[in-house]
Amino acid sequence: MMPAPVPPFKRLLDGYVLNEETGCWLWTGMLTATGYGVIKVFGRFVGAHRFSYELHKGPVPDGMEILHSCDVKACINPDHLRAGSHAENMAEAGERGLMRGGDRHPQFGRKRPPGIKNRLSKPVRVLGKLYSSQNEAEAALGLGSGTVLYWIRKKHGKAEFISRQEYEANA
């Protein structure tokens, strides 16, 4: 008789080592070429960080990616994981590329470059309503940071930039 298969959540929780310094849960199983952990769940290979997020925090919202606040791709600590848009993921990777050294925790003391701040302060129309900035719209609608910009870039009508005059005339 075959031994009973070990359930995926147990393999996940047995499959990492804690880095006591950073708190990262480092995946000890299979890794992708780009360094993400991989686990086989019900016959399918999935990202170990993604599986960990779903296990601890719930389903990943449609179209969202799981971002590492610690920047360690093999880390599966749910406290280091959050859902964000692809645009946000790319924007963060770019910002981190500008940082000196790679050993600091990227979420502490991280500032947006001035160019990004200016762009975020432009008024936007999101789902038919006007907001003074992308940040305001995201806060009002409970969206992840970067979602509005992602929608604007997709140009499918969910979000667009509007002029300051139009915002002030209708606000």
Site for Zn ion, rule CB under 5 A: 24, 70, 72, 75, 77, 80
H or E element that contains 95: helix 86-97
Q: Assess contact for 88 and 150: CB atoms under 8 A.
A: yes
Nearer to Zn ion, 72 or 83 (CB): 72
Instruction: Give the nearest distance from C-beta 5 to Zn ion in angstroms.
Output: 28
Q: Assess contact for 76 and 68: CB atoms under 8 A.
A: no
Instruction: Give the nearest distance from C-beta 75 to Zn ion in angstroms.
Output: 3
Nearer to Zn ion, 92 or 138 (CB): 92
Instruction: Give the nearest distance from C-beta 33 to Zn ion in angstroms.
Output: 20
Nearer to Zn ion, 70 or 87 (CB): 70
Distance CA 55, CA 76 (A): 11
Instruction: Give the nearest distance from C-beta 52 to Zn ion in angstroms.
Output: 10
Nearer to Zn ion, 80 or 125 (CB): 80
Instruction: Give the nearest distance from C-beta 150 to Zn ion in angstroms.
Output: 24
Among 142, 136, 150, smallest CA distance to 90 is for 150
Contacts for 117-125 with beta carbons within 8 Å, 24 or more apart?
119/149, 122/161, 122/164, 123/161, 123/162, 123/163, 123/164, 123/166, 123/167, 124/148, 124/152, 124/159, 124/160, 124/161, 124/162, 125/159, 125/160, 125/162
Nearer to Zn ion, 72 or 126 (CB): 72
**Residue 131 carries which DSSP code?**
E
